[in-house]
Amino acid sequence: MEHMDLDYNLYSKAQATAGRQACQLIGEHFTDVTEARGDLSIADYGCSGGANSIPILNAVLSKVRCSGDITLCMVDLPDNDFTITTKTIQTAIEKGELVHRVGDGNLKVVTVGKSFYHQVLPTMSVDFGYSLVSVNCMEVIPCPIPGSLCHTDLPEGPDRKSWETIAENSWNTFLRHRQNELKIGGQMHVSGNAYLEKDEFTWCNIMRNAYTVFEAMFNEGKITREELDKLIVPTTFRSREEILKPFKENSDIHLKVESLSFNKPPCLYYEEYLRTKDSEKYATNVSNSFKNVFNNSFIKLLASNSGRILDEFWLRFHAFVAEQPEKIDMGLLQFHLILRK
């Protein structure tokens, strides 16, 4: 097995497919309203290492007509490594990979280490905002999820309701702050994990199979019931109804919904596996991608026992994927919402 690599830029091809879909929608729907204003401000909410931001920025910049300065505001949690983000963008600029139609204006990159569940940029300062595969991350974990890693697997009842309430409040909070930050006429694109049905949500198979690996460790006495029950993925998956709820009448969200679409781009790793039949490489890609997104959460949830448990889990998960690649699908089921202030 290859070394587990925690390089998000390297192991985020699944997320990149959502970005590709977003580029197409930005190409179709983004209309620059900044010509008269001169300067342009673009915000990326949940930018991580920035690799998947480059195609999005290109989709936007190729349609921009302003001749003033352009500011890219890269927002993520304070523990994100912003040196990687800045370097990724600077390298793209130097290599000419970033479309740059700004006349004599400058292109500035600003990093913001704050949670997007707060206001993170000045009021009425953003012309174009986007958030890719990030607004599904929950800040508050209401209760454990026995028998699964995902709250959407909980039966109807008070526990499921508490997760849904937190998810609903987070969505409202995210939107309210973006509403404050956008300029009048500004546009916001949000792409996130969708929930269509019980067995149709992002990484449904990967999460359920990961749980069976943890469960096998429990059956062998390698983890306790308490530890098994603590393990969850702090993420949510939104249905059409949940996505649109804040835009109903009598709400304090006044952003206009321009479009909402759902898509499931194919998993690039699985396509490569089908071509090469290299199940070891597929297992490395899948394990590293999954580990990149959830390992820190597992560490926090398991606290002092995390090293012992997770070292073994990742080895076994890798072996599971290598043995049964067809059981794992990293394709994201995404929604793409376009809003205008």
Ligand X SMILES: C[S@@+](CC[C@H](N)C(=O)[O-])C[C@H]1O[C@@H](n2cnc3c(N)ncnc32)[C@H](O)[C@@H]1O
* Chain residues in the site for ligand X (CB under 6 A): 12, 15, 19, 46-48, 52, 75-77, 80, 115-117, 132-134, 137, 139, 293
Nearer to ligand X, 115 or 148 (CB): 115
**DSSP letter assigned to residue 20:** H
Name the pairing type of β-strands 200-201 and 256-263: unpaired
Instruction: Name 248's Cβ contacts closer than 8 Å, sequence gap at least 6.
Output: none
Nearer to ligand X, 75 or 255 (CB): 75
Nearer to ligand X, 7 or 139 (CB): 139
Q: How far is the CB of 323 from ligand X (least distance, A)?
A: 27
- Distance (Å, whole) CA 292 – CA 48: 11
Q: How far is the CB of 206 from ligand X (least distance, A)?
A: 13
Chain residue whose CB lies nearest ligand X: 46
Nearer to ligand X, 56 or 64 (CB): 56
- 153 three-state secondary structure: helix
Nearer to ligand X, 134 or 284 (CB): 134
| Inter-residue contact 54 to 88 (CB < 8 Å) | yes
Q: How far is the CB of 77 from ligand X (least distance, A)?
A: 4
Q: How far is the CB of 20 from ligand X (least distance, A)?
A: 10
Nearer to ligand X, 137 or 213 (CB): 137
| Inter-residue contact 189 to 131 (CB < 8 Å) | yes
- Distance (Å, whole) CA 290 – CA 211: 13
In degrees, to the nearest 5, what angle opens at C-alpha 81 toward C-alphas 76 and 82?
65
Nearer to ligand X, 30 or 102 (CB): 30
- Distance (Å, whole) CA 171 – CA 238: 10
Q: How far is the CB of 133 from ligand X (least distance, A)?
A: 4
Nearer to ligand X, 12 or 21 (CB): 12
| Residue 65 exposure: Cα atoms within 13 Å on the Cβ side | 8
B/e letters for 116-126, b = 16+ CB within 10 Å, e = fewer, are bbeebbeeeeb
Q: How far is the CB of 79 from ligand X (least distance, A)?
A: 8
- Distance (Å, whole) CA 79 – CA 205: 29
Count of other CB atoms within 10 angstroms of residue 268: 16
Q: How far is the CB of 68 from ligand X (least distance, A)?
A: 26
Q: How far is the CB of 16 from ligand X (least distance, A)?
A: 7
| Inter-residue contact 295 to 40 (CB < 8 Å) | no
What is the number of helices (H) and of strands (E) in the chain? 10, 9
Q: Is 94 exposed, middle or buried (0-12, 13-18, 19+ CB in 10 A)?
A: exposed
